[in-house]
């Protein structure tokens, strides 16, 4: 009897998993829609954008969807605690050995911005990651998977983000805008479904960007998505302010580009990585989306495509922003981020920069946005001067004192 009861239950569970996988697998129609969505922008930018001649500044950031609990074969599964600890210890030991030798023009090593999942908060793991970051190997920001099984609510998303934001700030991970106010953070949406833009999959919160704005998010670095993903916007290769209102579904689909001598007013800013067509592949072309994976590790050849995207603050064409992304805790992609492929890339990138007339700047998400904000304010010269331009890491006490002084100044005025 027990065996007969167990079998239908197992079959039902298998059916649920299959339905779940199907729900997150793009159909042929989805793929066609994706290509039609990005093709006009790719074609127009190929005709109108040019990398300027002469010396250029390349401002790199690697947005790492950093998930120690990831189980590649099960989207909703989590690795055991000891496995998560093992992965993190290996990373914190091996990454400095990999990156230490290859420095940018400012003397900084290539660094990751570790977008840690808020819903998977583990104090001991975050403590270890914080130690790694404070040693100079990156900065920690916020990642969030939600609404996967059932749609999330704005109230729950706000609660989750706020709690994790405050945990990071206790550890000195986050920044303050102009040294005052609430803690500020950068964000990456799990499953790319920002503001419920994936046809109801993996989110459920139409007003998510409003929630992000109200809890201190200064920039979203979700895009571009994985290839053929439903959430990919037609607006590509851009740094921009979202179209209003922020409380509607997917306001990131439209927006005003960042421009020299025009201070941004709407946060979070949208900081996109490269998305261009490339030659090759079974159909004669492929899509370059800045993802570092085992089947497509970083190379100087790919660098040319990232530069071709020509992502800039308008009016400052010689400052090119190259935001890449990876899942460094996914065992399948270890070779692309921690193996010989990455080592070779960093060697060729740094040693060949002079011949390519490139000045390299390896930045965190915060530093990249600071440089973009400096460009908006008309700042010139070397971008390295603006790594701490407006988003500054200060203690909570210092920030509270700054906010008090600001309030007193307003009252006196």
Exposure string over 329-343, b if 16+ CB within 10 A, otherwise e: bbeebbbbbbeebbe
What is the pLDDT, as a whole number, of residue 23?
A: 60
Q: Does residue 404 fall inside a structural domain?
A: yes
- Other residues' Cβ atoms within 10 Å of the Cβ of residue 268: 25
135-169, pLDDT tens digit by residue? Answer: 999 999 999 999 999 999 999 999 999 999 999 99
- Reduced to 3 states (helix: H, G, I; strand: E, B; else coil), residue 153 is coil
88-110 mean pLDDT: 97
Q: Which residue has better confidence, 408 or 279?
A: 279
Average pLDDT over residues 378-384: 97
Predicted local confidence at residue 283, as pLDDT:
63
Task: Give the mean pLDDT of the chain.
Answer: 90
* 372 touches 269 (CB < 8 A): yes
- In a domain, residue 42? The reply is no
**Residue 7 covered by a domain:** no
H helix runs in 117-153, sequence order: 123-132
Q: Tally the domains of the chain.
A: 1
Q: Residue 401: what pLDDT?
A: 54
4 pLDDT higher than 50: no
In a domain, 265, yes or no: yes
Residue 19 to residue 21: CA distance in whole angstroms = 5
Residue 142 backbone dihedrals phi, psi, to 5 degrees: -115, 130
For residue 236, the domain's CATH number is 3.20.110
Cβ pair 26, 229 in contact under 8 A: yes
Q: What is the pLDDT of residue 73?
A: 85
Residue 139 lies in a domain: yes
Q: Which domain holds residue 373?
A: 61-408
SS3 300: helix
| Average pLDDT of the segment spanning 283-296 | 91
276 is a domain residue: yes
Q: Which tens digit of pLDDT belongs to each residue from 43-84?
A: 999 999 999 999 999 999 999 999 999 999 887 789 999 999
285 band by pLDDT with thresholds 50, 70 and 90: confident
Instruction: Cis check for the bond before 351: say yes or no (omega within 30 of 0).
Output: no
- Indicate whether 321 belongs to any domain: yes
- The mean-pLDDT minimum among 121-135, 162-176, 280-294, 371-385 falls in 280-294
Q: Is residue 346 part of a domain?
A: yes
Q: What is the mean pLDDT of residues 300-327?
A: 97
């Amino acid at each position: 009897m027990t065996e007969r009861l167990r079998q239908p239950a197992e079959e039902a569970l298998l059916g649920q998993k299959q339905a779940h996988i199907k729900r997150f697998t793009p159909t042929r129609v989805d793929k066609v829609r994706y290509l039609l969505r990005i093709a006009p922008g790719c074609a127009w930018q190929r005709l109108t954008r040019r990398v300027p001649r002469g010396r250029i500044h390349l401002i790199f950031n690697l947005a790492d969807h950093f998930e120690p609990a990831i189980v590649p074969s099960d989207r909703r599964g989590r690795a055991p605690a000891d496995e998560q600890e093992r992965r993190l210890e290996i990373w914190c030991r091996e990454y400095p050995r990999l990156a230490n030798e290859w420095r940018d023009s400012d003397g900084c090593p290539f660094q990751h911005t570790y977008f840690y999942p808020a819903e998977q908060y583990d104090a001991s793991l975050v403590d270890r990651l914080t130690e790694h970051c404070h040693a100079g190997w990156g900065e920690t920001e916020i990642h969030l998977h939600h609404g996967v099984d059932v749609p999330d609510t704005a109230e729950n998303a706000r609660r989750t983000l706020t709690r994790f934001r405050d945990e990071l700030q206790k550890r000195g991970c986050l920044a303050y805008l102009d040294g005052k106010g609430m803690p500020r953070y950068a964000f990456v949406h799990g499953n790319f479904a920002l503001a419920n833009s994936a046809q109801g999959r993996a989110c459920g919160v139409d007003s998510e960007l409003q929630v992000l704005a109200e809890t201190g998010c200064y920039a979203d670095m979700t895009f571009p998505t994985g290839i053929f993903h439903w959430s990919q916007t037609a607006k590509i290769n851009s740094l921009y302010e979202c179209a209003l209102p922020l409380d509607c579904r997917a306001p990131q689909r439209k927006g005003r580009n960042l421009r020299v001598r025009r201070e941004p007013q709407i946060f979070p800013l949208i900081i996109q990585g490269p998305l261009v067509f490339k030659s090759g592949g079974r159909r004669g072309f492929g899509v370059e989306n800045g993802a570092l994976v085992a089947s497509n590790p970083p190379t100087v050849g790919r660098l040319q495509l990232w530069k071709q995207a020509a992502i800039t603050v308008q009016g400052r064409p010689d400052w090119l922003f190259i935001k890449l992304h990876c899942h460094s805790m996914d065992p399948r992609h270890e070779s692309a981020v921690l193996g010989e492929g990455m080592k070779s890339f960093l060697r060729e990138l740094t040693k060949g920069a002079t011949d390519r007339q490139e000045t390299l700047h390896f930045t965190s998400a915060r530093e990249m946005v600071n440089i973009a904000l400096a460009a908006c304010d008309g700042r010139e010269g070397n971008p390295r001067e603006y790594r701490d331009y407006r988003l500054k890491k200060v203690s909570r006490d210092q920030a509270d004192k700054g906010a008090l002084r600001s309030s007193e100044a307003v009252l006196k005025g």
